[in-house]
Structure 1
């Protein structure tokens, strides 16, 4: 197992930065970074951004110095490289996520202010907050878990229309499509049985805010969710921190000050 770091040559936020990677294991990478006090918010999906003033510490702790080509090659050869669009931020790769139908997939989580191309998107989810910053959650008996409102696209509807419809069906709240702000996405691999051969492998995530304090949630009769509540950020974590997508919620609502895109 080898940890590699390139010299600090990448400018952002008035500093120079390095990229710290493992050629074998993200678990090894996280453990190494934690041992040096490098915060998890510096993780970019397949590497840590390390500020120039910590470069010597990283090398002294055992990381080998490499040029950027060696760093990228190590990620590619290990299979740990997280392909992403320019400007997107990798948050986490979650292995072997299981679903109620018995299937499973690896899921890459990203923050991004740019919506994904619609042909790739099979579903949408909305982090819905009120004016005080509380979160709307719904309970799905099929998945036996709490989560943000959302669901699969129907027919030829747009992704935004998909998100607006799901929020209305599950909470009774009406949103305007322009009020939805893209904040991230979940990318599934391998392709799941939900769209065989279609190439649809992305769940689009939006943020939206209602202009009142905890308006009453009134889902449509017959909606599959069975409970609906406004909760604080702390309560949101208590109910959902064990779920595979939780690192994305943390990244959206606690933006990093360490690291760069």
Structure 2
């Protein structure tokens, strides 16, 4: 058994909490948590937060007691550690992602109301919703997938300006960058021996925005279509994409 738990020692919401991890894989951790009735909302990207009253039952089910320092060390040694700032929520750490340009990286998906470090942010994406809750979506021939509008940052742009420009170029829909709300980011860890296309670029900023009233017409840019899709349609068309857990987290709350 490779499931570990530290003793309840972390105060929050009027009780103490433990961290539940696997030192092998997220899949093993999710299977164990589900079998013990731990809700998925307790997952923080590399561990589950579990309340003190569940500690004894989890140990009885096979989780091995250990120290908090050992928990951190095992996550680091296994490559499963997802770092985040206070107030942020880890969604997932996706290992060994292959990109169309031949580069490879592990990627952290994080929910946050703060934009990532400016100097290291090389791209941005925006999830735009209308009054019906539909999502503005574009198809990329290069990646062969549907996704939210987004792309690489140009010199002199803020991340929000980057996202707004890409949205206008890819869909014809124009919004004030000030209307975009930061909701998360992707953090890339290039793998050894793999080329990385942007020197020092490690973050993609994620925003949301809303259009109210009349729904803007969308255009086909460079032969790549754009559409308004229901959330269910968007998630179905995006099934299998490595970034999907982040999209689900953003769209679950209405964007």
Q: TM-score, structure 2 length as denominator?
A: 0.91
Local SS of the residue matching 1:216: coil
Local SS of the residue matching 2:132: coil
Query: 1:170, 1:225 within 8 Å by CA — same for their partners in 2?
Result: no
Instruction: List runs of 5+ in structure 2 lacking aligned partners.
Output: none
Aligned-partner Cα distance in 1 for 2:232–2:15: 33
Query: 2:95, 2:106 within 8 Å by CA — same for their partners in 1?
Result: yes
Structure 2 residue 35 is the aligned partner of structure 1 residue 35: yes
Query: 1:4, 1:20 within 8 Å by CA — same for their partners in 2?
Result: yes
Aligned-partner Cα distance in 2 for 1:37–1:15: 19
Cα deviation code 1:179-210 (max 9, x no counterpart): 11111111112175321xx3111111101111
Q: TM-score, structure 1 length as denominator?
A: 0.89
Aligned-partner Cα distance in 2 for 1:240–1:62: 36
Structure 2 residue 194 is the aligned partner of structure 1 residue 194: no
Query: 1:134, 1:214 within 8 Å by CA — same for their partners in 2?
Result: no
Query: 1:140, 1:225 within 8 Å by CA — same for their partners in 2?
Result: no
Query: 2:130, 2:211 within 8 Å by CA — same for their partners in 1?
Result: yes
Structure 2 residue 93 is the aligned partner of structure 1 residue 100: no
**Post-superposition shift, 1:225?**
5.4
**Post-superposition shift, 1:6?**
1.7
Aligned-partner Cα distance in 2 for 1:118–1:186: 13
Query: 1:100, 1:143 within 8 Å by CA — same for their partners in 2?
Result: yes
Partner of 1:259: none
Aligned length: 250
Cα deviation code 1:121-158 (max 9, x no counterpart): 11100011112211010111111111100010122222
Local SS of the residue matching 1:128: strand
Cα deviation code 1:86-139 (max 9, x no counterpart): 222111111222222233222111111100111111110001111221101011
Instruction: List runs of 5+ in structure 1 lacking aligned partners.
Output: 256-261
Structure 2 residue 51 is the aligned partner of structure 1 residue 51: yes
Aligned-partner Cα distance in 2 for 1:14–1:245: 34
Structure 2 residue 126 is the aligned partner of structure 1 residue 119: no
Query: 2:21, 2:29 within 8 Å by CA — same for their partners in 1?
Result: yes
Aligned-partner Cα distance in 2 for 1:26–1:33: 10
Partner of 2:69: 69
Local SS of the residue matching 1:165: helix
Partner of 1:157: 157
